A and B are shown apart, each in its own frame.
Chain A
Amino acid sequence: MCIENIHDATLHLILHPKSNMTFPTSLYSRRDYLRSLAGGFGSLAFAALASRDAQASTALNTGIKSASVPKQPHFPASAKRIIMIFMQGGVSHLDTFDHKPQLQTDNGKSSGKNSNAKLFGSPWKFKKHGECGQWVSELLPHVARHVDDLCFLSGMHTDSQAHETAVPFFHTGNQSQLRPAMGAWALYGLGSECDNLPGYIATQDLRAFGQNHGSAFLPAAYQATILNPEASNPVANLKCPHLSTQQQRRQLNLLQQMNQQRLDRDDVNSEVEAVIASYEMAFRMQSTVPDLLNFSTESKETQAMYGLNSSNNKLRDFGRQCLMARRFAEEGVRFIEIGTGGWDHHFSIAESLPTSTSIIDQPIAALLTDLKQRGMLDDTLVVWAGEFGRTPAAQNGNGRDHNNRGFTIWLAGGGVKPGFNHGMTDEYGKEAVEGRVHVHDLHATMLHLLGLDHERLTYRNGGRDYRLTDVYGRVVKEILA
């Protein structure tokens, strides 16, 4: 795989005496193929499929092609897709996975010479779980049962300690300048395998923290489609508000007829072909997205497992996100980001944190179980993370402040070591001291698992080659299975 192929997003052919003149011959065969079809709405989908299967390397100069044609990774991938579970606000590692007995022992002692804040031992009991013996607090009993599938990064650190900068840093590798989100990079590198769904989906609108799901200078086709499973229009403009199905079908038939007539007049017109294909896909999305969000087709057990019957509304909604993630992953969506906010526990953590963990514990465990029993965990990378961790010293007497110097996240499936821990923080959990992994390193590793070399996945903008990892990043080889 060479990088040039990746640049075909904007295919510019220049007539130059020294270059071999190339032209997309497949246009012709494709056009003939289109003509040979009986025509009418629905048939063009095959054309799109056909070109996809043929790996039309002479991809047309349009977004739909560049985003939807799958591309070869740089090297064999262990993960085909990523489900990222983002906990906005910053989860306290000290009360979930990073057990610090010394902190509990020194509870109430001064946290340092220049600070009035006192050390604050976790109010929760920790126990070792699984064969790997990972410590997990009593707040996450369901997830605790899966530790042998999880790969913990307990020495995480990041640059920024404010949400407004740490959230975009986590998503784009840059805290203040606009850069493409990691999902956009993944889609740019690998294309999409879906014909009826966008390749990059996110459920949380994080725009209060800057652009976290955008394509920035990458072609716009790589931006995330925001999908809100609870909205009447889960994807913008998905539902037809004014026509009956039959009428809309009639309308689209007329539309595609017009487009076909235009195409006939133009003889060769890849843009019109792309427009035609985009209506096909949009029409299919109108039914596939609601179908995928209609969980009644799932067994009662599955629904219960994800907490869809829970009396806790927030748990139920998050359970729906998790189930949705599995279903979209099954359909081949490349990058799926789900999550919840509300992890910013500056006050009364003893009351507020259990509320947050109770929402996510059961659904995440269900997702892991479900992916595993379907054999999907092997090629799906699950990433669970917040933008940073929290301090061992108390804030406001009973809460915890932001801590970017040490925190814990975990990965699962997709080629990482199961039941494994890498890295650690100091005795109080304040700072990562061993096996330190920076967010840039995490990005490099995620791309690596997708078969992409973070140093070769570049895009030229303003005369410079840009990467997700800027000039940093190291693949955390220690955790590769």
Chain B
Amino acid sequence: MLKNLTNTLLLFSFAVFCPLSAADPSIEASTPQVDTSESTADAEGIAFFESKIRPVLIARCYGCHSADADEIEGGLLLDTREGIRRGGDVGPAVVPRDLHGSLLLESIRYESLEMPPDEQLDKSVIDDFTKWISMGAPDPRDGKSMTAPKANIDLEKGRQHWAYVPVVTPDVPSPDDAGGTANWCRSDIDRFILSGLHQADLQPVGDAGPMQLLRRIYYDLNGLPPTPDQISTFQSAYRNNADAAIESVIDELLASREFGERWGRHWLDLARYAESNGGASNYLVPLAPRYRDYVISAFEHDKPYDKFVREQLAGDLLPAGSDIERNEQLIATAFLSLGLKDMTIRDQHRFRMSIAQEQIDVFGRAFLGQTFACAECHDHKFDPISTEDYYALAGIFYSSQPLVGIQDKHTGYVFELATLAGHEAMFKGDNYAEFRHLQTKKRNSYSRLRSKKHELLNKAGLSKASQKEQSQYLSSNPAIDHLAKQLEEATAKMDDFYQRFAEEIPRSLIAIRDIEMPTDVAVHLRGEASDLGEIAPRGFPKVLVNDATPEINRDQSGRLELANWIASQDNALTARVMVNRIWLHLFGAGLVDSPDNFGTTGQPPSNPALLDHLAGRFVAHKWSVKSMIREIMLSHVYSLDSNHNDHAYQRDPANRLHWRMNRRRLDSDSLLDSVQLVSGKLQRGPPPERLAIFAQEDQRLKSFNISGWRKPTQNRRTVYQPLFRSFVPADWSVFDFPDPELLRGQRDTSTVPTQALYFMNSPYIVEHSKNMAKLLMDEAKSSDASHLATQAYLRVLTRYPTQTEFEQCREFLTDFVADDQQSSREQAFAAFCQTLFASAEFRYVY
């Protein structure tokens, strides 16, 4: 029973515990001050302790709260006077004569924590404790309590974790590549895979057919199926030289704009990209799409990943060769600024800390697969990351200011925007002061006018009169006229400000910058801003640093060094995490099955040597994502069939060792984009930049009518369509599009009836099925079932129908019309096309 509580207490210590704030500051956890004179003073009190209190502590509490306990719960030791008064993770257990400040009392009364957990103490015993604390908690138990049961982090041991060990290029195994699998290996990747399979007594299945492979390649690289023309080009090339045909289609797609859109979208999931702040103050962030376009372009043009990392973390601090480069580097830093900000926090320090926390969480998981956020309130329970490490990172982000352009009456901190190179800055702190001033003036004018009106109407006994009567009465009043004029002027000034705001927007960017006086922050004990420990000098988690780690320039935030530390081959995590993400998007599962968590609570790699081999290759290819993808796609393991094999399935049902290709469900983007492509409606490429600025005082999303905003981009790929937090289109979320508040390296792939309803009845599917039927029938100038079936199968499923399927189609078209003589052949064919969209085969990549 007590063991079951472990989890609870771990969780308990994660966050701020409110009752603490009432605690006597003289008994702060960091500076225990125990009045020793008490120990000898009151013999009667001691006797009371010995007879009533100590036996209970021993019998009911020491099991988990003494130096001898197997595992000390909640960091609380009750076996010495010092320990009981210092308390545990959540504060002093006993504060003499303070019944409210004594957490122990609250706990045994079952008012907060319920202790002891198995059974509450008798009421008389609780009364004894109350009395004892009222007496001043006399306690003869001298002696040092074990200092904070804070487990010292063993860095040396920590560094042994597989993900922290430097990447050492492993020897390529030479599996017995004979027998049934002669010359199976096409590359080193295959040697690692085959060797892994052999160790588990497994053999790979056969190869995917050419059309199956073609469809797979198209979805993986472009997120779209091939068109009939593309299919036939491939087919003729394949007949000439199969390997060359595959290689050339891969190269062609890697070079396409659609590749940038597809792989950019993967990254945007990690960047929790959205165009509004989300949460309680869901402010519009109209410049966000510039970051989206930066990401798409980075993948399209194969920006080296180390550069990509560096730009997103410290683009503002990097030297630039040109204005264009400067702008690109600036917009990249929006990665750090796009997170959800809790605008309800009034306290500036806490507000800034909350932003830093979000940034630590996101950069840690996206680039390093590290869950640093766990160390905010206490040393990481599982990974060798201390709170000092956490606050050393926090100082870096605390010394940086996001420039987001959000006008909130409390948080000027995120009001500003970066300015394109070569332009005069407009969104400055001064403007915020001006904005606040104008806003206050306008509001005051308004309320003065309103109260004057009330006053006059009340005097005249017209407060309940009709509006017409009221305005008539007020119309010729000089005082009202005067106030109305004031309001008019204030409004005009505000409008003028917004006009300037709007004109400046095209020259502005979301970004981040160093604050003027970069600073370290202190450890926040238990994450509490009001309870500060030692200053944690800005730096990186100790377990992850080595001789090559750069020193932080104290005059800057440290983001530049952070960026360089991450974007380095000396960082054991960066390349591993990224190649695993690439693998994940090509196979449906990473070699490490927890792509955002490479810590000890994550999953170990299924093939560690392969992971390191890939990491090494990635760096050797100068961090080229495209080269990495290409190398993986040209392996034999990528071209395997996805079919079943009893023997292998029983040994490795989750296919961790890659005895076959995984079947993967199309994600929402691929699915919706494909339907539009096949129906002939998809407009390729990016939409014109949408920088309409919504110059109004209230920038919260709810004050805009956003329903029409999708229309201008509705025929573009979903990556280009507006995306607001809390308002993810239902069409997307039904297919597991992730909530953009949260970083998500791997999407869910649920199968639920609401998806089925979507395929059966949604306007989107119905409309595009009609479009497709019309397109095909117009093109073919024929309504011959075999011809139509062939075209439809080719476009939707990238294959030819079988004889049975021809017949099914023919029969369906006939019967459908027979069911209802009003139906046209085109309607019948549209219903058939819809069936193909709805089919499991379309919804999966095989």
Contacts and interface: CB of A to CB of B under 8 A. Distances in A.
Contacts of A266: 642-644, 663
B742 A162 contact: no
Contacts of B232: none
Given A248-B760, A464-B373, A272 B8 contact: no
A246 B815 CA distance: 10
A258 interface: yes
Given A14-B593, A247-B819, A462-B371, A259 B753 contact: no
Interface string A250-265: 1110110111011100
Interface string B382-403: 1100000000000000000000
Interface stretch (B154-162, B219-227, B494-502, B596-604): B596-604
B766 A242 contact: yes
Nearest to B769: A242
Contact of A471 (B17, B374, B606, B827): B17
Nearest to B834: A251
Contact of B382 (A177, A210, A463): A463
Contacts of A471: 11-15, 17
Contacts of A22: 653
Interface string A33-68: 000000000000000000000000000001110010
A178 B739 contact: yes
Contacts of B374: 463-464
Contacts of B823: 247
A170 to B, nearest CB: 13
Given A240-B760, A250-B819, A467 B11 contact: yes
A267 B643 contact: yes
B754 A235 contact: yes
B730 interface: yes
Given A176-B344, A463-B374, A465-B11, A257 B751 contact: no
A220 to B, nearest CB: 5
B813 to A, nearest CB: 10
B742 A207 contact: no
B753 A64 contact: yes
Nearest to A214: B739
Contacts of A414: none
B651 A67 contact: no
Interface string B580-600: 000000000000010011010
Nearest to A477: B110
B12 A259 contact: no
B487 to A, nearest CB: 21
Interface in A167-214: 168, 175-178, 198, 207-211, 214
The winner among A64, A221, A464 for most chain B CB atoms within 10 A is A464
A128 interface: no
Contacts of B365: 462
Given A271-B751, A462-B596, A23 B603 contact: no
B726 A210 contact: yes
A269 B344 contact: no
Interface in B753-772: 753-758, 760-763, 766
Given A165-B344, A250-B812, A462-B365, A176 B280 contact: yes
A460 interface: yes
A255 B835 contact: yes
A351 interface: no
A165 B12 CA distance: 23
A251 B831 contact: yes
A231 interface: no
Interface stretch (A105-113, A273-281, A309-317, A339-347): A273-281
A380 B524 CA distance: 44
A219 B200 contact: no
B652 interface: yes
The winner among B17, B754, B831 for most chain A CB atoms within 10 A is B754
Contacts of A67: 750, 752
B632 to A, nearest CB: 21
Interface in B190-227: 200
A458 interface: yes
Contacts of A125: none
Contact of B344 (A175, A240, A246): A175
A272 B838 CA distance: 12
A15 B766 CA distance: 44
Given A255-B839, A275-B843, A246 B820 contact: yes
B803 interface: no
Interface residues of A, number: 88
Contacts of B761: 237-241
B694 interface: no
Interface residues of B, number: 99
Contacts of A21: 650-651
A242 B10 CA distance: 55
Contacts of A225: 754
A258 B842 CA distance: 11
Nearest to B369: A463
B753 A278 contact: yes
Interface string A445-472: 0000000000110101011110100110
A274 B805 CA distance: 22
B816 interface: yes
Contact of A255 (B114, B758, B838): B838
Given A15-B200, A246-B819, A458-B7, A275 B751 contact: yes
Contact of A210 (B278, B593, B657): B278
A267 B644 contact: yes
B791 to A, nearest CB: 17
Nearest to B361: A462
B756 A279 contact: yes
A481 interface: no
Interface in B829-846: 831-832, 834-836, 838-841, 843-844
A276 B840 contact: yes
A178 B340 contact: yes
B581 to A, nearest CB: 16
Nearest to A23: B653
Contacts of B10: 465
B739 A211 contact: yes
B97 interface: no
Contacts of A240: 760-761
Contacts of B816: 247, 250-251
A163 B756 CA distance: 35
Contact of A236 (B663, B730, B766): B730
B341 to A, nearest CB: 9
Nearest to A226: B730
A164 interface: yes
Contacts of B644: 266-269
A463 B649 contact: no
Contacts of B601: 460, 463
A82 B342 CA distance: 31
Interface in B696-755: 702, 726-727, 730, 733-734, 736, 739, 741-743, 748-755
Given A63-B751, A237-B760, A243-B831, 18 more contacts: A62-B750, A63-B749, A160-B344, A165-B344, A198-B753, A211-B726, A221-B750, A236-B762, A237-B761, A244-B820, A250-B812, A250-B816, A463-B374, A465-B11, A471-B14, A474-B110, A474-B111, A474-B114
18 contacts: A13-B652, A15-B651, A15-B657, A23-B649, A63-B752, A168-B279, A177-B741, A198-B753, A221-B750, A238-B757, A243-B831, A255-B835, A275-B843, A276-B840, A282-B757, A456-B7, A462-B373, A462-B743
4 smallest beta-carbon distances between A and B, as pairs: A63-B750, A463-B371, A282-B756, A164-B280
